[in-house]
Amino acid sequence: MTQKKTYFLNMGPAHPAMHGVIRLVLELEGETIVSTEVEIGYLHRAFEKHAETETWNNVIPYTDRLNYVSPLINNSGFCGAVEGLAGVTIPERGQYLRVIASEISRVADHLTCIGANAMELGAMTPFLYLMEGREYLYQLIDDLCGARVTTDYTRIGGVKGDLPEGFIDKCRGVFPKIRKLVADSEALLTKNRIFLDRVEGVGVLSQADALAYGITGPFLRSTGVAYDVRRAHPYLVYDRLDFEVPVGSRGDNLDRYLVRLAEIEQSLRILEQCFAQLPGGPVSLTPWEMRDAFIFEDMGKAGNTALLSRCLAKTCRTIDGGGRDKAAGIRVAAPALVMPPKEETYGNIEGLMNQFETVMWSWGVRVPVGEAYHAVEGGNGELGFHVVSDGSDRAYRVRCRPPCLFIMAALPKLLNGGYVADVVATFGSVNMIAGELDR
C-alpha cells in the first residue's frame, strides 16, 4: 500500500532567488506546495529602537536603509511625519524637489523589481537593459545627493540642497533612454510565451484577500483597487500633478508586472510636469526666519505684543540664558528646527554654531509634544511613519509601517497550492525588500 507523504523544503535565508534574507519552510507533496511558513527577521536592525536614541535629524540616515531600492521616498516620508508634528510646511521648491527625488527613486525601484523578476525566470537581457536604465537614475541621484543608495537627501524643514547645475537637462536627456530600454524590455517580455507561462494566472490573490491583509501599492492595484496614497491623501504637491493610477484585474504575477511597467511611465510624466512647474525660491526653511530673542524684547517694549505669538524666537541656551540651568527656564519653541545651509556652516561662525546647535546631544531640534502619522506612497505601497514626541531632543517612538510586511503575511495564500518552481516567479513579483520588512 502506498502512502502519500509530504516532505519539507527549506528555502532561504540565503537563497539566490530570495532577494534578501527570508526563510520559507515549504511543505511539499510531490511538487505541490501544501503549506508555507514564512520566517522573517534576519535583517532586523532595531530601526525603531535606534530611532529613539538619536536626535531627530540623525534618524534620517537610518531611513535610507529601510527600502534601500528607493531610499529617497523613505527620507521624505520620515521628514514629512516630523514636520507634520512640528506644524511646519516646507517651501514650495523644497516640496517639488522631494517629489522629483521620490519619483526618480520609484522608477529605480520598479526597474529593479521587473528586471530581477525577469532574470529569475531566465530572461537575462531585460535585466541588463533595466539595470542600465537604473544606472542612469543612480547617476542622477548621485548628482543630487552625492550618494547612489545611501542618499540621506531630506532634512527636517526641507532638503539638503538645491538641484545641481544642469540637472533638469540631464534628466530630460536620460528619460528617452529609459523609455527606450523599458519599451525594449517590454517587447521581450510582455508577449513572450515563456515569460507568460510562468506569470499568467500564477500567484493570484483576490481583491478581498488583498484588502483583508492590508496590502497596498502596486500589489493592491494589480487586483483592481486604484488606491494610491498620492491620490487618496495627496501630500507635498501631488494634487497639482496629473497622473493616472494604473490598475490590473486578476491580481496575478502578470498584472503586478504590468502595473509596475505602467507606473514607470506615470512617474516619468510626473517628473516632466515637475520640471515645467518648478518654482524658484528657497528649498528649505532657514534658521533666519526665526527672530533673535532680543527682538522679541524690543517688540514687547514697543507695544507690538500682538505680533509676538506669530514669531518663533531663536535663543542661544548659553549666551542668552546665562548657562544651561537658566536655559531650562526659557519656554520657547525649538531654538531652530532646521539646519543652516552648508555654505553658512563652513562660511561663518554663526552658521557653524547654528549647525552644532541642531546636532548636539540635548540641544538639537525640539519637536512639540504630540503624535503624528504620515504616509507616503513607497515603492511597495503605503509607507507610514507614526512619530511620538515628548518634547525632548529625540523621538520618543518611531513606528514605521512597512508595506512589505503585509505582503509577506499574505505570502502563504499566494504560494499554497502552486508548484515549488512558481515560488521564484511569485516571490520576485511581490518585490520583498528585507530592509523594510525587518527594519
Partner 1 sequence: MRFETRTVASAQAFDTLRQLKTGDYNVLIDLTAVDYFLYGKCPEPVGWEQNFPSGACGIGSPAGAGRTDFLAAGAPGPRAHRYEVVYRLASLDPATGLEIKPRLELRVPYSEGSVLLSVMSLWPNADWLEREVWDMFGIKFADRPDIKRLLLYEEFVGHPLRKDYPVKKRQPLIGPKSGELLGSPSFNVVRQETPFE
**Measured from the CB of residue 302, what is the shortest distance to partner 1 in angstroms?**
25
Q: Is 374 in the site for partner 1 (CB under 8 A)?
A: yes
Residue 202 burial (10 A CB sphere; 0-12, 13-18, 19+): buried
Q: Single out the residue of 1, 49, 73 nearest to residue 230, CA to CA.
A: 73
Closer Cβ to partner 1, 346 or 373, answer by number:
373
DSSP-derived pairing of the beta strands 382-389 and 7-11: unpaired
| Cell triple for 321 | 540664558
DSSP-derived pairing of the beta strands 158-159 and 32-39: unpaired
Cβ contact 279:92 at 8 Å: yes
The span from the CA of 70 to the CA of 109, in Å, is 6
Among 49, 172, 180, 342, binds partner 1 (CB under 8 A): 49
**Measured from the CB of residue 412, what is the shortest distance to partner 1 in angstroms?**
10
**Measured from the CB of residue 388, what is the shortest distance to partner 1 in angstroms?**
6
Q: Is 438 in the site for partner 1 (CB under 8 A)?
A: yes
Closer Cβ to partner 1, 115 or 384, answer by number:
384
Instruction: Give the total of residues touching partner 1 (CB under 8 A).
Output: 59
Among 31, 362, 417, 421, binds partner 1 (CB under 8 A): 362
The span from the CA of 435 to the CA of 49, in Å, is 15
Q: Is 233 in the site for partner 1 (CB under 8 A)?
A: yes
Among 269, 386, 419, 420, binds partner 1 (CB under 8 A): 386
Q: Is 146 in the site for partner 1 (CB under 8 A)?
A: no
Closer Cβ to partner 1, 44 or 180, answer by number:
44
What 8-state DSSP symbol labels residue 339? P
What 8-state DSSP symbol labels residue 86? H
Closer Cβ to partner 1, 213 or 257, answer by number:
213
Among 224, 250, 288, 291, binds partner 1 (CB under 8 A): 224
Q: Is 405 in the site for partner 1 (CB under 8 A)?
A: yes
Q: Is 56 in the site for partner 1 (CB under 8 A)?
A: no
Q: Is 361 in the site for partner 1 (CB under 8 A)?
A: yes
Q: Give DSSP secondary structure letters for 367-406.
A: PPSEEEEEEEE-SSSEEEEEEEE-SSSB-SEEEEE-HHHH
The span from the CA of 6 to the CA of 82, in Å, is 51
Q: Is 416 in the site for partner 1 (CB under 8 A)?
A: no
| Cell triple for 283 | 528649498
Q: Is 213 in the site for partner 1 (CB under 8 A)?
A: yes
Q: Give DSSP secondary structure letters for 289-338.
A: GSEEHHHHHHHHHTT-HHHHTTS-EE--TTTTTTSHHHHTT---S-S-SS
**Measured from the CB of residue 118, what is the shortest distance to partner 1 in angstroms?**
28
Q: Single out the residue of 174, 271, 250 nearest to residue 206, CA to CA.
A: 250
Q: Is 390 in the site for partner 1 (CB under 8 A)?
A: yes
Binding region for partner 1 (CB under 8 A): 40-41, 44, 46, 48-49, 52-53, 84, 207, 211-214, 221, 224-228, 231-233, 235, 245, 247, 328-329, 331, 333-334, 361-362, 366, 368-369, 371, 373-375, 382, 384, 386, 388, 390-392, 394, 396-397, 399, 401, 405-406, 408-410, 438-439
